[in-house]
Amino acid sequence: MKIIHASFNRRSFLKTSIAGAGLLAAPTIISSRALASSGELNFTGWSGYPGMAEKVFPAFTAATGIKVNFTEQPDQDTMFAQAKLSLQTATTDVIEPTLDRVAAWASNGLLQGWDEGKLAVGNYLPGLADGSAGERARIDGKLMFVPSVWGTEGLVYNKTENPTEYGKASLGDLFSEANEGKVVVRPHSALAAMGRWLDAEGKLPKPWLDSYKDEATMRELWDIALAEAIKRKANIVQFWSGENEAQAGFRTNGATIGLCWDSTGYNLRNDGYGYIAPKEGAFAWNQGLVLMSNAKNVEQAHEFAKWVSTAEGSSLWATAFSANPVGKGGVEKMSADVAKFYNDSFPGDALQKLWWWPDQAAWFLALRGEYADKFKGA
């Protein structure tokens, strides 16, 4: 299941975003109800991105008068656990998972729908809040998810010790004997990478994508990927679950190649590392905001989501994550350094080959966790 059509091209995306004042987001209009109540928002997001507290939230507060109480978490499993706890404590209003997790969160009674009349849905770039992405964001007709930023998971490599280039770089490099003791990966992503690589090599009995559809097929294909990954576990110098751990694998533990978020590659770009899409296609994700079912500050939450969709809000959000803005006009406000990084990382047909994470239901996430634990413990 793709979030954006396979023919999506970032260069055309940049060009389209810049063309004409008609594409610029409308100015943020602040609800009097939001400012008349608590004036606060309890938000849980990703750790390892200092720009959020330093620039993004102050800009939002300056624009709306609403204070953000920010709780940082390293990964979505931890966010999910906090969300479940918040059902009893009502300490969280908005959380920022990826689109593929929304169905599982909703099935656990964690979410309520956004009121579209209090948002500015027209601010979003085409394909992010409509089309297949818009369909996946709705459950029983209710809009459960609005995008905040999108990005990728590809290969970070040491330019001197492990040089590569587009068309040569492969997910299979993570499991090459030449890279023993040199690899940084997230456990479940490593297994998915193995599965996709085996699929590309014609070594699976069924397409890897089928493993996301039912438990029997998932076990069949992930058993194969796990067995093959364990054979090359000596390659792993460090597992990561968040941005700080990923960077530490390279900065501290001597890794020369890894499967990491694009933000990791960007943050290491001045330290002799590059970031490139593998020839099988980079993993791609669409991150966004969900409203807790028992949120206290509902009006403030809507103002927050609306601001993130503006040119200013989306550009600041994307800059903090070293990723892509979701709002029209946002790219005009992005750093030239960020734009260069992404153009260098996705040459040729790399963007046409993006592999969007499929929906991952609750049963799948539970099993995926089991396989990840088996890989780590092997």
| pLDDT tens-digit readout, 194-232 | 999 999 999 999 999 999 999 999 999 999 999 999 999
What integer is the mean pLDDT of 52-66? 96
**Residues 211-232, buried b or exposed e (16+ Cβ, 10 A)?**
bbeeeebbeebbebbbebbeeb
Q: Tell me which of 15-24, 107-116, 361-370 is least confident.
A: 15-24
Task: Indicate whether 290 pLDDT > 90.
Answer: yes
Q: Which of 20-34, 76-90, 161-175 has the highest mean pLDDT?
A: 161-175
- Please report which confidence band the pLDDT of residue 38 belongs to, taking 50, 70 and 90 as the band edges: low
Contact yes or no for 162/269 (Cβ under 8 A):
no
Query: What does the alpha-carbon distance between residue 103 and residue 206 come to, in Å, rounded to a whole number?
Result: 25
Cα torsion at 214, 230, 104, 217 (round to 10°)? 0
- Please report which confidence band the pLDDT of residue 312 belongs to, taking 50, 70 and 90 as the band edges: very high
213 or 350: which carries more pLDDT confidence?
213
Whole-number average pLDDT of the chain: 88
Task: Indicate whether 328 pLDDT > 50.
Answer: yes
Q: Tell me which of 121-125, 157-161, 337-341, 370-374 is least confident.
A: 337-341
Per-residue pLDDT at 128? 81
- Please report which confidence band the pLDDT of residue 303 belongs to, taking 50, 70 and 90 as the band edges: very high
Return residue ranges of the chain for CATH 3.40.190.10: 10-151+284-353, 153-283+362-377
Pairing of strands 146-158, 283-292: antiparallel
Sign of CA dihedral 124, 323, 210, 360: negative
Per-residue pLDDT at 4? 30
Task: Indicate whether 35 pLDDT > 50.
Answer: no
Its pTM stands at 0.69
Query: What does the alpha-carbon distance between residue 242 and residue 222 come to, in Å, rounded to a whole number?
Result: 23
Per-residue pLDDT at 23? 33
Task: Indicate whether 172 pLDDT > 60.
Answer: yes
Per-residue pLDDT at 336? 84
What integer is the mean pLDDT of 90-116? 95
Alpha helices by DSSP H, the chain: 10-18, 32-36, 51, 57-64, 76-89, 102-107, 131-136, 187-200, 215-231, 243-251, 262-267, 298-308, 311-321, 336-345, 362-377
Per-residue pLDDT at 264? 95
Per-residue pLDDT at 36? 39
Whole-number CA gyration radius for the chain? 20
> CA of 16: how far to CAs of 8, 25, 91, 131, 327, in Å?
12, 13, 40, 17, 12
Task: Indicate whether 18 pLDDT > 50.
Answer: no
**Residues 174-185, buried b or exposed e (16+ Cβ, 10 A)?**
bbeeebeebbbb
Domain 10-151+284-353 has CATH 3.40.190.10: yes
CATH fold group of domain 153-283+362-377:
D-Maltodextrin-Binding Protein; domain 2 (3.40.190)
What integer is the mean pLDDT of 333-348? 85
Cα torsion at 207, 349, 164, 190 (round to 10°)? -30
Per-residue pLDDT at 362? 82
What percent of the chain has a predicted confidence (pLDDT) above 70? 90
Per-residue pLDDT at 337? 85
Half-sphere exposure of residue 231: CA atoms within 13 angstroms, side-chain side? 10
What integer is the mean pLDDT of 181-187? 98
Contact yes or no for 265/259 (Cβ under 8 A):
no
Per-residue pLDDT at 155? 98
